[in-house]
Each structure stands twice: as structure tokens, then as C-alpha cells.
Amino acid sequence: MGSSGQGTRNLRFGLTRLKTRHYICLLAAAALLSPGGEAQKQKAPEGYTLVWSDEFNGKDGSLPDPSKWTYDIGGSGWGNHELEYYTNRADNARIDDGKLVITARQEPYTGPDGGKFNYTSARLKTEGLFSQAYGRFESRIKLPAGQGIWPAFWMLGDNIGSAGWPKCGEIDIMENVGKEPGINHGSLHAPSSTSPTSDQTATITLPAGQKLSDDFHVYTVEWDPGTVRFFLDSNLYATFAAAQWPGGGTWVFDHRFFLILNVAVGGDWPGSPDTATVFPQKDAGGLRSRVQAQDLAWA
């Protein structure tokens, strides 16, 4: 799971179920500390039907559409010793110039229980509003950059409330940590009888020292019964199948999942920010973290 983002513009979803292929697409997402960019609308891939979308066409400064998005709120560390407190404020997630903007800030913040935090951010999800089993899930994202920054576009099983994690299953479509500026991680996480979790993970690295924060890239999974395929910019880099699942593990990717976009700060994997990590400022001249999604289709 990761949590830094910059701007999401359009979201669409599509699914593959029996003979109907549904498509969900988040085409453009710009990440924390990256300048915003315009995303190009794309048609649903051949053979898929668009079933869900968010064009982020609200007024500048408005909150994300509450009929499509809700929030995780709090600063519990989220199982990873993360440093941020997630809020539902426009300061951390808002519509800006036709994009969903998630802003991770370095600022003193006191939670309702009196807990003190040095960072705030946002974690948006479609839990209780939209979920789907199978299909094509796609997002066009420009990632943030910096030590300790951890953006992610991912999914959790909608039975998490009853089954808990990891029995609900987790699909990480885009996950990046600032210390690996050119590497995307695609992963599946599930329960195991022999270890804390059963997992399959693959990475893809941009060529010639390019950074994922330099430009927009399209992050995609195609999820069919028994198989999940991972793509970066239409390049297939991993295929995970139930038939090859690790011994002792249980394949749980056979029910509805909901979507999550977030930007985390710190944690066991990325480590803490350092003095070189740039954060947005409160004044108008400061950089802002954006996740820009255009034509996001999910299924």
C-alpha cells in the first residue's frame, strides 16, 4: 500500500465477468510534489464495457464527489508505522483544475484523541459506494517524489469488515517508494497457513534513469477468474495465477474489491522523510501533491 498522490482527473471502471468484460479506468494521476499535467481521455479497450467513472469536473477547491468517494481518517500508523494523519479536509484532497488533488503536508496536527502528528495527507476509497469483481482497472498517474513518500493505487476486498486483512485480499496496482524513483511494484497479498501472508510481487523499472515523477504513466491490472495481470504503459510485466499460488497460501481474489488512492508519509518500507524531502507550503507559492486521474475505469 502507498499513499502520495497529486491529481486525479477522470475515473472509469470496467469488469470481466463471464461473457461481459467491464472496464474501470483512472487515466491520469499526478503524485505528490510533481507539477500537474493534462491527461488525455482514452476510449475503453476493445472488448470492455465502461461501468464506473468520475471525471472530477467539480468546482476548483471542492471536495471529491461524496457519492463516489469516502475517506479513511486517522493516524494509527495503518499497520506500517506511517507518520501521517489522514483527514477529509480540502487541504488534503480537493478538486483543482479538473483533477483530484491529494496533498501531503508537513504541518503540526492534533487528532481528536489528542495525538500529535507532523504530517497530514488523504486516503480516498470507494468502500460502500463501488466495488467489483474482475475486469480492467486503470489509472494514469504522475507520481510524487522524495525520500519517505509512498503513493499507491490499490484495492481491498469488500469483505474486510467481516474477514479482516489479509483474508479479504489486497491488489496493489501502483505502489512506489521515494527511494526507488523509477520502480513500480505490483502485488497480490492473501492469507497463509504457514506465514503471516501469502504474496506475489513483481517490479518494472523505467529505462535510463527515468523517474515515475517525471511524467504520467498508466498503471493497469486485468483481473479474470484465477488470473491477475499487471501492466505499466501497456507493457505486461507480471501475471499471477491461482494455479501457481505459494504453498500454504489461499487465493482469495474471487469476490468484489473496492478502490483506494492515497499518499502515505514514512513507514516501515519507505523510511522517514529527510531534510531533502520537499513538502507543499501553506502559501500559494508552495508545491502541492496531486493525483490526476483521467478516464479511470474499474471492474
Indicate which residues carry an active-site annotation.
170, 175
Q: Cα 51–49–25 angle (5° rounding)?
A: 60
Q: Cα 125–205–275 angle (5° rounding)?
A: 70
Residues 270, 297, 72, 225, CA torsion sign: negative
Whether the Cβ atoms of residue 295 and residue 171 lie closer than 8 Å to each other = no
For residue 72, the one-letter residue type is: D
Q: How far apart are CA 153 and CA 219, in angstroms?
A: 8
